[in-house]
Amino acid sequence: MPVAGSPDNLCVGQEVTDIVDMQTTLQEAQRNRFDFVVIPLSRTPAPDLTDAAAHTPSHRLPPYEFIPMAQSDLALESKMWTSAVCGTVSSWIRPDCPHPAYRDRSIVALQRELQWASHLSEYATICPCPELPCANYARIMMPLLLSPLSTQLWVRIPLSVPPVTEGGGDATEGWQLWHQLRMMCGHHSSLCVALEFTDIYGDDDACLDKWLAEPVRAVIIPTDIFVTNAKGFPVLSRRHKAFLMRLFRHRVQVIMRYDRGEEPGSRQMSDEGSMGVSQGQPQGMTMDAYLNYVARLFQSLEPLSQAQMFEQPYLDYLQAPLQPLQDNLESQTYETFEKDPIKYVQYEQALVQCLQDRMAEGKTNPTIMVVGAGRGPLVQASLNALQSAKIEEWTVYAVEKNPNAVITLQSRVRGDPCADWRRVRVVSGDMRQWDTTERADILVSELLGSFGDNELSPECLDGAQRFLKRDGVSIPTRYFSAVAPVSTTKLYNDVKSYKDQEHLETAFVVKLHAFFRISGEEYQPVFEFEHPNWEIPDTHDNKHNRRKTEVSFTARADALLHGFAGYFHCDLYKDVFISILPTHMSEGMFSWFPIFFPLMEPITIKQGDTIRGHFWRLDDAHKVWYEWCVSSPQPSPLHNPGGRSYFIGK
């Protein structure tokens, strides 16, 4: 049964190389606590690859005969084929082999074995590792990918391919093999990876990190990759272990394979973490020892925090950004955001500091205006701050345009357990249109979106600052947006699945999970706004809130650029802030997820390339929108010109 965990369980399978009877094979695997088996699809031997045979015309070779490993589909009930068996295509198959006869035989065998796998409706089929170039391989795979499939297609990809000759040349990243195949297969979402652990060449973990952005469905761990610890037990090297722990969070399955080429446990970890041959270490380790180790690793994962538990349903789930100016939010949406354990604590702290500073300047009897009050959490934070600052004479306004939220505010004035609510003055109306002779000492708002200004905080606060005293304070005082180039196969495929231009030109809110940050720089700032802004021209246009920015990044590894992740940082007051920047994350805060700006076509990036992006914030009388494009290392189309696909209504 699966290894129990929280919130997910881990399924572990065993790869077997030869079977006599399917029922016996499955029963033995279950006794050994494996959840599924991986079996060869065929017994057909590889053709002779001697020089003479390699150049024999295909029609002179003996006829190809497919010999299934399982005698027939009747060997198991269909539910067992679909839930407990994965098939693996013969490793000798090389559709892009330079030898014509071998290549032709490989193409025939690949097609036949995949037909058999589809007939069995196996849970998944593991296809052989491609070689460069892999044009024939892609040509065989595409018809299958374009037809209804009854099995998942996983391609066996090693972490790295060692040099052809010892001491000669460099190792090849397995990612390069995968990248060419998926490009030739049109980024098809049904093509996935079974990632095989091999020795890791080089010290830069970017070669591992990039796999977190790929559709890795299983990890194949051969027993000869294990090392032996001081007590004689099999363990993974530090880098393999850390990488596997990260993959666990991506719901991979594990496939254990006993390799007879090197006795399990025959390598040991040195003090520095390198690998070498041990002397006198226990030999013949049972598979149970390896399974126990993997299970213990999985169960040692840190429990998810409250914020992480909240985020689980939203991982890599595309959401259209909220438009609270154009639309009235629903009660459920308000309730979700009000559960944030960090945001309102930070607002309260900022208010306390601001009130204390103003009191020190002799400014008493403060007037606080909460604009965009919603159902009142910022009003409550204001009341708490007044109490903490020991201020008894005060005035608090709650301004809200949503008539449904106003009902909630009025109800709290009448009956909230906090008696100070009785003194709150509720105003029903748009902050940009409300008129009053009262002037505020502190203007409090929470109009931020995932990209800072994408819920039109600048436009709203420009309209509301007319009733702020000239020496008054806006909370927040400053915020800026930022971007970083990312690779994220999952999100690109999800956006592409809509099969229209509109979604490829829409910025989506998403909790990024399966992604790779391509650059060494965590982010580059894009648009910045400060409040109050007393330099707004005395006109009715919005030109002062338009922006244009160019950002530049250096790629830390070969990768595929799918778009840009967007973030924001907000200074509430002095050193009190809220942020979703990777480097300044407000831990535990879940009110905002990053935003994703997709590219219509992914761009292949080489290590050291300069990635140059361009972003605009534009507007007209009715809407605000973003435009974006890439100019280096190769140009992309301008996305969303004129706000044709995505905009924020005023």
**What is the Cα–Cα distance from 572 to 550, expressed in whole angstroms?**
26
**Residues belonging to the active site:** 446, 455
* Angle in degrees, 0-180, between the axes of helices 331-338 and 403-415, rounded to the nearest 10: 60
**What is the Cα–Cα distance from 323 to 315, expressed in whole angstroms?**
21
Do the beta carbons of residue 625 and residue 646 sit within 8 Å?
yes
**What is the Cα–Cα distance from 254 to 257, expressed in whole angstroms?**
10
Is 431 annotated to bind ligand?
yes
DSSP 8-state code for residue 638 = P
Q: At CB < 8 A and 24+ separation, what contacts does 106-111 make?
A: 107/136, 107/140, 108/64, 109/42, 109/44, 109/64, 109/66, 110/137, 110/140, 111/140
Is 344 annotated to bind ligand?
yes
**Left (φ > 0), alpha (ψ -120 to 50) or beta: where does 371 sit?**
beta
**What is the Cα–Cα distance from 474 to 478, expressed in whole angstroms?**
9
Please name which of 189, 60, 44 lies closest in space to residue 116, comparing C-alpha atoms: 44
Prior bond to 215 cis, omega within 30? no
- φ, ψ of residue 75 to 5 degrees: the values are -65, -25
Is 314 annotated to bind ligand?
no
**Both tokens of residue 582?**
């990777």
Do the beta carbons of residue 289 and residue 234 sit within 8 Å?
yes
**Both tokens of residue 515?**
């992604």
Is 400 annotated to bind ligand?
yes
How many of the other CB atoms lie within 10 Å of CB of 172? 17
346: Cα separation from own chain's centroid? 27
**Both tokens of residue 36?**
């599924």
**What is the Cα–Cα distance from 341 to 344, expressed in whole angstroms?**
7
Q: Are strands 85-88 and 36-40 parallel, antiparallel or unpaired?
A: parallel
485: Cα separation from own chain's centroid? 13
Please name which of 72, 142, 147, 133 lies closest in space to residue 110, comparing C-alpha atoms: 142
Question: Which residue ranges are tagged as binding site?
Answer: 334, 343-344, 400, 430-431
Question: Which residue ranges are tagged as binding site for S-adenosyl-L-methionine?
Answer: 334, 343-344, 400, 430-431
